[in-house]
Every structure is written in C-alpha cells, then in structure tokens.
A = this chain, B = another copy of it.
Amino acid sequence: MNSPALSLFDPPQLDSDITLTEQISTMLVTKITQLGIRPGSRLPSVRALAQHLGVSRFTIVAVYNRLSDEGWIHPRQGAGYFVQARQSPPRDDGGMRLGSDAIEQTPSHRTLDVSWLLHGLLRDVSDPAIPGSAALLPAKWMDSELLASATRSVGRAPGHLILGYGHPRGYLPLRQTLASRLQALDIPANPDSNLLLTAGVTHAVDLVLRALTKPGDTVLVEDPAWFLVFGRLAAAGVQVLGVPRTPQGPDIDVLAQMAQAHRPKLFIVNSAVHNPTGYSLQASNAFQVLKLAQQHDFHIFEDDTYGDLHAGGAIRLAALDGLQRVLYANGFSKTLAAGLRCAFLAAAPGLINTLTDLKLLSGLTTPELNERVLQRAMSSGQFRRHLDRLRNRVDVARVETMKRLSDLDVSIHHDPAGGMFVWGDCHRDSDQLARSAAGEGMLLAPGSLFSPTQAPSSHIRFSVALAENPAAWRILEKLLG
C-alpha cells in the first residue's frame, strides 16, 4: 500500500478569509491533480493528518467527506480513504454527461482528459508547485494590489450605482476605454455600436456559436488549438474540422479546400500569439484568410486572449477587415485577474445587436461591479506599466525556458512571437511522456489535447512559468535526459 509521507502535506496558513476545511481541501486537491499523491494511494488516517497539521480531527473528517462528495477520493470500508483511480471526478448518476462528447471520443488509453484537465487547472490556485501546464501566469508576476485598490475604490463610490442591472452591452465607460485600446490596434470600434461586454472569452465564444451556427453546421478551428473550444463545439452539435496552423498563419490551401467542400459558418483563430504555438499571423496570410471568408461567406472569430503578450505590431484580422466579417474577442484573465471574468466582443453593429439579445436571454447583463473595478484598474497608468513589466518578464522566462528545453533536445521548430507557452517537439509520443511526468507529480499538456481529432503528437505545450521552478527541471531532465 503506497501511502504518501506525511511531510508531503503542508500545514495550513492562518487566513481569516478561508476556512481551515477549505484550505486543507484545496491543498489536497492540488496534490492529487498534480499527482503528488498518486491515484490509488491511501491518504493518511484522520488522526495522523490532524496531528501533523495541528487541527482537530473533526476538520479532517469534514475535508475527507467533502473530497469524497466531489469525487477526488473514496472511502474503503475499514481501510481509510483512497485517491480516486480514474482521473476524472466520477458521476453518480452515470446517465448524463452532456457537453462531454469530445471527451468521450478520446482514445481510451489517454490518461488525461479535457474534463479532468479543466477541473484541475481551475482548482489550481494559479501557483502550482510544479507548473507544467498552468493556464495562468504565476500569481507573484501579477499586480494584485492594482486589483485590490480598484475594488476598494469602487466600494467607496455610492453603493446605489450597482443596484441596477446595468446596460445590456455593459458599463459604458469601460466600453469607451476598450474602444480606445482597440483603435490603437487599428480596430475601428465604436463604444456604442461595436462593443459587447461578456463574462470571459469563453462566454463570447458561446454567444457567437448561438448566433451563427446550428447543429450540423461546420465550424473550422486551427490545428492545434485550445482544447476547451472542442468541448464547447461538440456540445453545440456542430462538425469541427481542423486547419493546420503554420508559423505564418492557417494553411491557406487547406482552408480554401475546406471552405469549398464544407461551407463552414465560422472559423475560430488566434491571430497573435497563437495558443499553443505562440506563432503570429503574417500580413499576406491574413489577407488570404479574409479573402476566403468573403468568397465563401463565413465569419471569423478572432480570439486575441494572448495578444496582449505580443511585443507590438502584430496583425489583427479585425483591423484589416474593419469589423465586417471578423468578430474580435479579448479579456483580462492572463494579464489582470481570471477571477474578474471580464471580456468583450467587437463586431459589426448588426451582429452586436443580435449578440446583445442572446446575452440578455441567456443571462441578462454582465456584472457592473466587476466592470467598474476593471475600468478603475485600466484607467490608472499602473495597468499599462504592469502590462509592460509582465510582458518583459514573460519574454525573459520564455527565452530561458526555450534554452533549457533545447538543452534537453526538445526542438522548438519556429520561435514563438511572444506569450506564455512554448510548443516543444520531444521526438516521442507526448501522451506517454505526460503519463511519465504525472508519475513524477508534474502535469504536462500533451499535443493530442490540442488536436481537434485528439491525434497522437510528439509536441508538448510548456508553460514559461517553468523557468523559475528548479523542481520541474529535475523531473524534465530525468524524463528527457
């Protein structure tokens, strides 16, 4: 019975804001998702863990009960608690797993699946011990005081300002600030007619899918691309086809052929700092993409989530197109705080009207409280300075990460143009490598996750947060050396 050493478990920090049960639960889930505590292993006894952490047994019982309810661990009669072997929280009704079609199509040998990774990434409080696949930058790189002071400032304004539902398109001063930023990127956004605030870029994708597609329609994505979108598209019942992403942009020949053969309604693209490769679109490629969109009458969803990490001067499709066929989305999860859930869509006025109706029908307005906090944070010069610092820090960490990966014979075929990820070719099956890493307590994101068909791949998406983590390099050396 391979029970982990008690020393693995961190004692709780006294933090009046978080209950002990919550703190200890989060610590355990972090260990479980990062496989510091392996599936199947037995957890310490209630008495031993209570004694080790200096808390009451009642607290540990509450923690174990909660984690059992959530499906991370399970009790075994008379033998204690064990880490759930299947790496996805189990369903207790068995019947309904909606929105999981993409997950269920994944090859059964896959250890990691979308649902598991997503739950793990979200539990992971942005500072994982071993950041192999982190979706966020380390907390210490962010300007948390900027956010806190903006929140206090909003709290000092008269409280009646947030009693109402707010504007259907979102808080106008924030739309005005965003419009100025877009205009600086040559995207001609009018704050009144071209902008809609959303609760994150994922919410924006959701509204656009509702507006522009119906089940059975074809939607093109890049290959590779962000895995969450595959799940969303599968849930919408649309046919998903992948267009290979080259360092210059989407493969134009394949795009032309697919547009001709499948009459897609939509093409979802990261133009600047593509996730996972970090590539940015070249002008001639962008022009070709827009020409095909016009010729075959499809819309383009330009997801610019990572674009703010580009040094500047990247091409945006929305700028070339002038917000005709391109719907542009961006947010602040990577640069300010994921917990704000503030993002926006820029598009043609007619589309914005339709999307506003859909936003109202599916959830009324977005919270003006957050929009005021974001507006306050952005209107101080501090945000711009934070963004510059963050970009520099990410650039330094990326160069360092690439250098160390190349020392381990991981090939980066084309330099990324910016951003927090490095798309490295490990010259072997990356699913297998991710499994081995998991065995060492490190979560890696293998290439198959980013493939619309979950095809095996020799690539891994590495996070630049690795640069500052010696423990991670020891594991990578062992696995790749």
A interface residues, Cβ below 8 angstroms from B: 17-19, 22, 66, 69-70, 89, 91-100, 115, 118-119, 121-126, 135-136, 139, 142-168, 172-173, 176, 190, 192-193, 199-200, 202-203, 206, 210-211, 215, 228, 231-232, 235, 333, 337-342, 348-351, 353-354, 357-358, 360-370, 373
Contact = CB atoms under 8 A, between A and B. Distances in A.
A353 B232 CA distance: 16
22 contacts: A17-B158, A69-B193, A70-B192, A93-B349, A93-B354, A95-B350, A97-B354, A100-B357, A126-B163, A136-B163, A139-B160, A144-B160, A149-B159, A151-B154, A151-B159, A162-B339, A166-B339, A199-B366, A199-B367, A203-B362, A232-B362, A235-B361
A322 to B, nearest CB: 15
Top 10 nearest A-B pairs (CB, nearest first) are A93-B350, A144-B159, A152-B155, A151-B155, A148-B159, A162-B339, A203-B363, A341-B367, A126-B164, A339-B368
Contact of A190 (B69, B350, B366): B69
B339 A172 contact: no
B363 A206 contact: yes
A62 B318 CA distance: 25
Max chain B CB contacts within 10 Å: which of A119, A210, A231, A367? A367
Contacts of A69: 190, 192-193, 349
B363 A369 contact: no
Contacts of A165: 121-122, 135-136, 333, 338-339
B349 A98 contact: no
